[in-house]
Amino acid sequence: MKKLSARRRHPLAALVVLLFALAATGGLYTAFAPAEKAKAEQESSQSLAIQEGKKLYQVGCSSCHGTGGQGTSDGPSLVGVGAAAVDFQVGTGRMPAQQPGAQVPRKKKIYSQDEINQLAAYVASLGSGPSQPTKKQYDPSGSDVARGGELFRTNCAQCHNFTGEGGALTHGKFAPDLGDVDPKHIYEAMQTGPQNMPSFTDGALPEKDKKDIVAYVKQVNSDKSESPGGFKLGGFGPVSEGMFAWIFGLGAMIGVAVWVAARTAKAKKS
């Protein structure tokens, strides 16, 4: 310490102090700056996503939805529909639409999930709306299936049938089969109300309720769901049962009757 204080009046002392000060400031800056820097990076990647999304949008969507998402006579405005709507519509292959009609059907998905996220980022940038749910929100494990069933019958079965087999709406529109739909997409459909479906906001149907409904659908209508009584004949209720009873039930009876009648004791020919 003595040495240090002895040299404190050295002509280069000021320079050394300055160097220390600079190093400390720089060090501190590097220590505290990363958050800011990452944020900036994220921002730039976000704006990159938006840019990429915009490019995808211009190619695949703008002919119907307008160059700025403002909508045209062929497609609705996308301002404020949110990322969840894009993820649902494009993720289930409904968008881009193949042709105009009563309803756009589900088909093969043509964008990768990354591209969908870019599109979603662009559309979300047009106006705020529901964002894509996280896995924690829609993952059905550990939910109350029985409660989900009650909620489903109260809110969904009118159009989608008891177990979500789908049903008819007016003028060729329809409620689709929920059979092998991704839990995320079921959740997003409830959030955003695609096409003819009403939207169930978190105010009307809280997050937990949505999750219970997803769990119920997965319980009764997926490739893993059990049918204790045997083949379920489409699960459409009494119409398919009646048709089966007539064609196969009574058909078999008539077959048996013809068989029995054809095999009779023959009277002896005299």
Partner 1 sequence: MSTATETPGSAAAAGKKKAPAGERVADWADGRLGIYSLAKANMRKIFPDHWSFMLGEVALYSFIIIILTGVYLTLFFHPSMGEIEYHGAYTPMHGVRMSEAYASTLDISFDVRGGLLVRQIHHWAALIFLAAMFVHMMRVFFTGAFRKPREVNWVFGFLLFVLGMFTGFTGYSLPDDLLSGTGIRFMEGAILSVPIVGTYISMFLFGGEFPGHDFIGRFYSAHILLLPGIMLGLLVAHLILVFYHKHTQFAGPGRTNKNVVGMPLLPVYMAKAGGFFFLVFGVIAAVSAMFTINPIWNIGPYRPDQVSTNAQPDWYMGFSEGLIRVMPGWEINLWGHTLVLGVAIPLIVIFPLVLVSIAMYPFIESWVTGDKREHHIADRPRNAPTRTGVGAAWIAWYFVLLVGGGNDLWATHFHLSINAITWFVRIAFFVVPVIVFIITKRICLGLQRRDRDKVLHGRETGTIKRLPHGEFVEIHEPLSQEQLHTLTAHEQYKPVELGEETDENGVQRKITRSQKMRAKLSKGYFSENGQIPKPTAEEYREIESGHGHH
Q: Which residues define the annotated binding site for heme c?
A: 61, 64-65, 156, 159-160
Read off the DSSP letter of residue 67.
Answer: T
Place of tokens 């937990």: 208
Residue 96: name the closest of 122, 131, 135, 57 by CA: 57
Taking CB under 8 A as the rule, does residue 23 contact partner 1?
Answer: no
- 40-99 residues near partner 1, rule: CB under 8 A: none
State which residue, 32 or 231, has the beta carbon closest to partner 1: 231
Region of 16-24, 27-35, 61-69, 223-231 interacting with partner 1 (CB under 8 A): 223-231
| CA atoms of 136 and 128, how far apart (whole Å) | 22
- 174-213 residues near partner 1, rule: CB under 8 A: 174-175
Region of 34-42, 71-79, 189-197, 224-232 interacting with partner 1 (CB under 8 A): 224-232
State which residue, 6 or 260, has the beta carbon closest to partner 1: 260
| Minimum CB–partner distance for residue 102 and partner 1 (Å) | 7
Region of 41-49, 89-97, 145-153, 195-203 interacting with partner 1 (CB under 8 A): 145-153
| Minimum CB–partner distance for residue 231 and partner 1 (Å) | 5
Taking CB under 8 A as the rule, does residue 258 contact partner 1?
Answer: yes
Per-residue H/E/C for 99-167: CCCCCCCCCCCCCCHHHHHHHHHHHHHHCCCCCCCCHHHHCCCCCCHHHHHHHHHHHCHHHHCCCCCCE
Scored b (16 or more CB within 10 A) or e, 148-185 reads: bbebbeebbbebbbebbbbeeeeeeebbbbbeebebbb
Among 230, 268, 269, 270, binds partner 1 (CB under 8 A): 230
Among 44, 72, 131, 158, binds partner 1 (CB under 8 A): 158
First to last CA, the chain: 143
CA of 134: how far to CAs of 137, 139, 187, 200, in Å?
A: 5, 9, 10, 17
Region of 110-118, 119-127, 187-195, 261-269 interacting with partner 1 (CB under 8 A): 261-269
Taking CB under 8 A as the rule, does residue 229 contact partner 1?
Answer: yes
Q: Angle between the 82-91 and 113-126 helix axes, to the nearest 10 degrees?
A: 140
Taking CB under 8 A as the rule, does residue 149 contact partner 1?
Answer: yes
Please, how many CA atoms are within 13 Å of residue 90, restricted to the half-sphere of its CB? 25
Taking CB under 8 A as the rule, does residue 106 contact partner 1?
Answer: no
Region of 38-46, 64-72, 204-212, 247-255 interacting with partner 1 (CB under 8 A): 247-255
Largest CA distance in the chain: 149
Strand partners, 75: 72
| CA atoms of 150 and 213, how far apart (whole Å) | 9
Residues of the shown chain interacting with partner 1 in the complex, contacts defined by CB under 8 A: 102, 144-147, 149-150, 153-154, 157-163, 165-172, 174-175, 216, 219-220, 227-233, 235-246, 248-250, 252-254, 256-258, 260-262, 264-265, 267
